[in-house]
Chain A
Amino acid sequence: MTQTAVSEQVSGRSREGIAQRLAADLRDGFVVNLGVGIPLLVPKHVPPDVEVILHAENGVLGMGPLAAPGHEDPDLTDAGKQPVTLITGAAIVDSAVSFAVVRGGHLDVTVLGALQVSGRGDLANWYVPGQNPAVGGAMDLVAGAREVWVAMEHVDRAGRPKIVERCTFPLTGRGVVTRIYTDLAVFHIVTGELRLAECAPGITPEVIRARTGVPFVEA
């Protein structure tokens, strides 16, 4: 497939809209880890009848919103080192137990941003060659979480597809992504097959196909 940029503008979901659409798929009782970017917009869109436990890799189970100014506690931060709060019933663990939660299959979903996702579910999101390499918990999260949901813009800033035949950026994990939520569509990846589950309002499969670097099945 060609991966040339499509210049024609289409208007799909906003970043908030992507987060809202993803949040609608979270189920009551899920243990969820959120990466940076669009994933951090997810909590405010979780439906009121759904309770999720937010996990932060530095050992927080039951993370609440960011701490209000003047109420920051240097001993309580999220994975991005921002001061946060706890929900009632939260628990604190050490880093080894925190990643036992991740790798041991106790994390229902990790929601991550991505540089690229391949049609088979390979994910590249940790390193742009030429920049400063750092990985944090990304490789543990994609290897261990029961589901890896990517929330991202459908194309990059130059208009090139981010859903590709083969990732050109260094991989975070192979065959790990199970869903992709973009401004244009929702995809499910089932046993290595990319399936278009849903088009955003007003968006046709043809519009999506023109902006996707790999063939997909219309489910």
Chain B
Amino acid sequence: MIDKFREDALAALAPILSGATIAVGGFGSSGRPDTLLDTLCDLDRRDLHVIVNNVGGDFTGIGRLLVEGRLRRVTASFPVLPDFYTEYFAGRVEFELIPQGTLAERLRAGGAGIAAFYTPSGAGTMLSDGTFPLGYRADGEVAASIPAKEHRVFGDREYVLEHGIVADFALVKAYQGDRKGNLRFRLSARNFNPLAAMSGRHTVAELEHLVATGDLAPDDIHLPGVFVDEVVLRSELSPRMGVMTRRSA
């Protein structure tokens, strides 16, 4: 009997250990799994590598992980939060900046068993030529750069080699889901969620609504439960839980 529903989000995320790589869905706060991200903070894990489109504009969600000093590296296309850059330039978090479409495809590819692919996005720019700083030292010097990416010409165009991402865990948010893990998203809150879910070796989905198995018609399922290991319900409190005091250090 397959039943992926978990009452306790804390228990569902307990297998995530410090040092893990975690793909997270959402575009800004739209479709972001805030309950799971708050729960992750409560678990007190550190040294995390988060793969997500945006850090966000405030201290909720990824922003809370950041200000609590839990992140080792962020892979993103558009972080937004000024405090993220403060941490980056101070050498406290690494920043792998990649084009947004490349981020989406790297997650999809990783989840689909594609080791790498060639894309024209970023060819001939500092995001592919080895000059973009991945991280800084405390004294402000560049500690490491994003490695140069292989360039190859197909036809008359130049492409760069990008690698699929297989994350240790994925945290996503869906509008509806059932106990088999089948998910439906709502409007543009879908965004990176199905791709992050595919990328995760172990994927946890946060639901706005748990529906009876069979209520989602097979043709209406956006992401089948084979990509989802556990589902939890979104907490009513989660949008406000993230508003907390900033790290004093």
Residues of A within 8 A of B (CB): 56-60, 73-77, 81, 86, 92-96, 98-99, 102-103, 127, 132-140, 143-144, 170-174
> Which 9 residue pairs across A and B have the least CB separation, nearest first?
A99-B101, A140-B101, A95-B104, A143-B120, A75-B189, A139-B99, A81-B28, A137-B100, A75-B187
**Complex: A98 Cα to B102 Cα, angstroms:** 11
Find chain B residues with CB under 8 A from A74 CB: 29-30, 189
The answer to whether A133 touches B97, judged by C-beta atoms less than 8 angstroms apart, is yes
**Complex: A111 Cα to B90 Cα, angstroms:** 36
Find chain B residues with CB under 8 A from A127 CB: 126
The answer to whether B27 touches A77, judged by C-beta atoms less than 8 angstroms apart, is yes
A158 → chain B closest CB, angstroms: 24
- Max chain A Cβ within 10 angstroms of own Cβ: one of B97, B120, B187: B187
**Complex: A135 Cα to B75 Cα, angstroms:** 12
The answer to whether B100 touches A95, judged by C-beta atoms less than 8 angstroms apart, is yes
* Chain B: CB-nearest residue to A126: B125
**Is the C-beta of B31 less than 8 angstroms from some C-beta in chain A?**
yes
**Complex: A76 Cα to B193 Cα, angstroms:** 15
Given contacts A95-B27, A95-B195, A134-B78, contact A171 B108 (CB under 8 A): no
A191 → chain B closest CB, angstroms: 11
**Complex: A75 Cα to B102 Cα, angstroms:** 23
**Is the C-beta of B202 less than 8 angstroms from some C-beta in chain A?**
no
Question: Restricting to B74-121, which residues have a CB under 8 Å from any CB of A?
Answer: 77-80, 82, 85, 97-105, 107-108, 119-121
A215 → chain B closest CB, angstroms: 23
**Complex: A136 Cα to B132 Cα, angstroms:** 15
* Chain B: CB-nearest residue to A90: B187
11 contacts between A and B (CB under 8 A): A58-B191, A73-B187, A75-B186, A81-B30, A94-B192, A95-B103, A95-B195, A135-B100, A138-B99, A139-B127, A173-B123
**Complex: A94 Cα to B183 Cα, angstroms:** 13
The answer to whether A171 touches B191, judged by C-beta atoms less than 8 angstroms apart, is no
Contact among B80, B121, B125, B188 with A75 in the assembled complex (CB-CB below 8 Å): B188
Find chain A residues with CB under 8 A from B125 CB: 139, 170-174
The answer to whether B80 touches A92, judged by C-beta atoms less than 8 angstroms apart, is no
The answer to whether A135 touches B187, judged by C-beta atoms less than 8 angstroms apart, is no
Q: A75-B189, A137-B101, A173-B124 are in contact. List 20 more A-B contacts (CB 8 A).
A: A58-B30, A59-B188, A74-B29, A75-B175, A81-B28, A92-B188, A93-B190, A94-B104, A94-B185, A95-B104, A95-B195, A96-B195, A99-B100, A102-B101, A132-B82, A134-B79, A135-B99, A139-B101, A139-B127, A143-B119
* Chain A: CB-nearest residue to B111: A96
Find chain B residues with CB under 8 A from A138 CB: 99
Find chain A residues with CB under 8 A from B79 CB: 132, 134
Residues of B within 8 A of A (CB): 27-31, 53, 57, 77-80, 82, 85, 97-105, 107-108, 119-127, 132, 158, 175, 185-195, 222
Find chain A residues with CB under 8 A from B53 CB: 95
Contact among A102, A137, A143, A170 with B123 in the assembled complex (CB-CB below 8 Å): A143
Find chain A residues with CB under 8 A from B175 CB: 75
The answer to whether A135 touches B195, judged by C-beta atoms less than 8 angstroms apart, is no
**Complex: A135 Cα to B27 Cα, angstroms:** 14
Find chain A residues with CB under 8 A from B187 CB: 73, 75-76, 86, 92
A74 → chain B closest CB, angstroms: 6
**Complex: A92 Cα to B67 Cα, angstroms:** 33
**Complex: A75 Cα to B187 Cα, angstroms:** 6
The answer to whether B126 touches A170, judged by C-beta atoms less than 8 angstroms apart, is yes
B127 → chain A closest CB, angstroms: 7
* Chain B: CB-nearest residue to A81: B28
Find chain B residues with CB under 8 A from A140 CB: 99-102, 119, 121
**Complex: A73 Cα to B187 Cα, angstroms:** 9
**Complex: A173 Cα to B188 Cα, angstroms:** 27
A33 → chain B closest CB, angstroms: 12
**Complex: A73 Cα to B108 Cα, angstroms:** 27
The answer to whether A136 touches B194, judged by C-beta atoms less than 8 angstroms apart, is no
Find chain A residues with CB under 8 A from B107 CB: 96
The answer to whether B80 touches A134, judged by C-beta atoms less than 8 angstroms apart, is yes
The answer to whether B194 touches A134, judged by C-beta atoms less than 8 angstroms apart, is no
Find chain A residues with CB under 8 A from B104 CB: 94-96, 98-99
Find chain B residues with CB under 8 A from A95 CB: 27, 53, 100-101, 103-104, 191-192, 195
